[in-house]
Amino acid sequence: MTRIGFYSGSFDPVTLGHSDVIRRAAGLVDQLVIGIGINPGKAPMFSDAERVAMLEDETRAIAQQTGTKISIVTFSGLAVEAARAHKATIIIRGLRDGTDFDYEMQMAGMNGEMAPDIQTVYVSASPNVRHIAANLVRAVAALGGDASAFVSKDVLKRLQAKAAKQS
């Protein structure tokens, strides 16, 4: 039986924290579907296509190193429904701290009611990336700060170019 995991987020931008969780999750499943949530009520820094491209670039080496098939999709609506649509039996959630845990426990409870056949698995972020949050990375970049400790070199280039256009 193929173990399919679903890891969702906005990935705006893809951070080293996201990559850490993806690397760890890839060791748990045979196939990892990364779902970029599209919320029409939000205005992300990066377009859907840009976020897909960033994730494809960031996950290529992880897929090769782990032997895990990684695919990138976009979805709107409930993550649990997107997981079901992609035949996932596991929802992967990254945890940075206790605040994340409290929120994610509530989400897992709700998802468990809606899809009892899909389990939630928590992946703790590595200590060196626990402090990274995409919204803070965007703020650092928008204010001209150095975001190089929070994203890969490729994402940093995209982030700096996007921040320069928006200023």
**Which pLDDT tens digit goes with each residue over 74-104?**
999 999 999 999 999 999 999 988 888 899 9
d(CA 85, CA 8): 13
Establish if 104 belongs to a structural domain: yes
Q: Is residue 82 part of a domain?
A: yes
Asked if residue 166 belongs to a domain, the reply is: no
With contact defined as beta carbons under 8 Å apart, do 92 and 7 qualify? yes
Residue 160 in any domain: the answer is: no
Binned at pLDDT 50, 70 and 90, residue 167 comes out as low
The pTM assigned to this predicted structure is 0.95
Gap between the Cα atoms of 142 and 29, Å rounded: 36
Instruction: Tell me which residue range forms the domain holding 70.
Output: 4-127
Between residues 166 and 30, which one has the greater pLDDT? 30
